[in-house]
Structure 1
Amino acid sequence: MADHGTSRFHAGQTALIALVPEVEPAVQAWRERYDPAARAGVPAHITVLFPYLPASRIDTHVHSALTDIIGRHHTIHARFATCGRFPGVLYLTPQPQAPLRRLTLDITHHWPETPPYQGHFADIIPHLTIAQDQPDTVLNNIETHLHTTLPLTTHITTIDLITHNGTTWQHHTTFPLRPDKP
């Protein structure tokens, strides 16, 4: 979960993420070294919404609404074939991006007080962060190595709510996406 300089993690923060275990072998060593979220306990993921509601606001009504909203979206089949960049950040680009954007928009429509990255960016760009706050030479080296493992694919069937306890991110709840039709 790239924080893109908006804030560092603190107790009571929450996030909604799509775990992507299929890419973990290719990115784990890089993320552990260069991604603060990995060092804080978050596995390879695509951020759906960060920050989300404060942990103190997570109750049965929030769970029910998330179950409904997330459950209206189908399993997301994504392919990672390219890397992308923000200033100082390297990430894998999931394709297609539209299903992830729609999910984020549906959640933020229900909770408009939770715009992605606190509203600091106009566009929603789904991504799997590999490294942050690094010079281009480091990002170029990582990207060169990653291209030897791409493409990678995933089938996202759930979205996880995670909370920060002041030191690490902890799993809170898993919400299933609607299964594909047989």
Structure 2
Amino acid sequence: MEDDDTHGFQAGQSGLIVRVPEAEPAVRGWRDRLDPSARGGVPAHVTVLFPFLDASRIDQGVCAAIGEVLGRHQSFEARFDHCGRFPGVLYLAPEPDTHFRCLTEAMVERWPEHPPFGGQFDDVVPHLTVAQGQDEAVVEQVEADLLTGLPIVAQVSSVDLLVNDGRRWRQRASFPLGQPAGHGAFGVLGDVSGRR
């Protein structure tokens, strides 16, 4: 859900993310100012698959299939102990990143017509975006601040489905990891930012 401007998001777009609430105290202030997806209601996260199906195509059958695919993967611990950079992007890097990669690969295997980020990257690196489109001085300031709060350890036990309603990203469903097939919850739309 990163690497795009809020104005580039469209109603009906969807994506699958792993929320990282443990990172919010360290990153929320920076993300609110420097990451357009945060202003659009997306919490601190690592993207599993974006873009995903149009919201109009997501029904109980699709949710059951998502739950089945994700339910084959066990919950895991991720440690964010350093920053990384892409051109124009500062992020926290999870270690190990293998589990995140496996989640993405499993979803793409099931829905090959939806490659991560539209297929624009050869290697999709799991990351938690903190800032985008900033000059080097700002990025260095943000990175220095973030390093004082690391490491961040997160327990990953579910994957959330977010849908854009034309103004904000809202949670449509949450799918637990390590559960029997078909136990994903087709939830009610909610404000994922925690703000009202």
Q: TM-score scaled by structure 2?
A: 0.88
Q: Distance in 2 between matches of 1:164 and 1:4?
A: 13
Q: Give the C-alpha shift of residue 59 in structure 1.
A: 1.0
1:95-174 correspondence to structure 2 within 5 Å: 95-174=95-174
Q: Give the C-alpha shift of residue 76 in structure 1.
A: 2.1
Q: Distance in 1 between matches of 2:76 and 2:13?
A: 25
Q: Distance in 2 between matches of 1:10 and 1:168?
A: 10
Q: Distance in 2 between matches of 1:88 and 1:76?
A: 29
- Assess if the C-alpha contact under 8 Å between 2:4 and 2:36 holds in 1: no
Q: Give the C-alpha shift of residue 152 in structure 1.
A: 0.7
Q: What runs of 5+ residues in structure 2 fail to find an aligned partner?
A: 180-196
Q: Distance in 2 between matches of 1:168 and 1:103?
A: 25
Give the equivalent residue in structure 2 for 1:19.
19
1:35 is aligned to 2:35:
yes
* Structure 2 counterpart of 1:48, one-letter code: V
Q: Give the C-alpha shift of residue 4 in structure 1.
A: 4.9
Q: Distance in 2 between matches of 1:108 and 1:136?
A: 34
Q: Give the C-alpha shift of residue 134 in structure 1.
A: 1.1
* Structure 1 counterpart of 2:87, one-letter code: P
Q: Distance in 1 between matches of 2:147 and 2:100?
A: 23
What's the Cα RMSD here?
1.2
Q: Distance in 2 between matches of 1:72 and 1:119?
A: 25
Runs of 4+ in 1 over 6 A off after TM superposition: none
Q: Distance in 2 between matches of 1:107 and 1:121?
A: 16
- Assess if the C-alpha contact under 8 Å between 2:41 and 2:169 holds in 1: yes
Give the equivalent residue in structure 1 for 2:70.
70
Amino-acid identity (%): 50
Give the equivalent residue in structure 2 for 1:83.
83
Q: Give the C-alpha shift of residue 135 in structure 1.
A: 1.3
Q: What runs of 5+ residues in structure 1 fail to find an aligned partner?
A: none
Aligned in 2, Cα 1:153/1:75: closer, same or farther, shift over 3 Å? Answer: same
Q: Distance in 2 between matches of 1:10 and 1:3?
A: 14
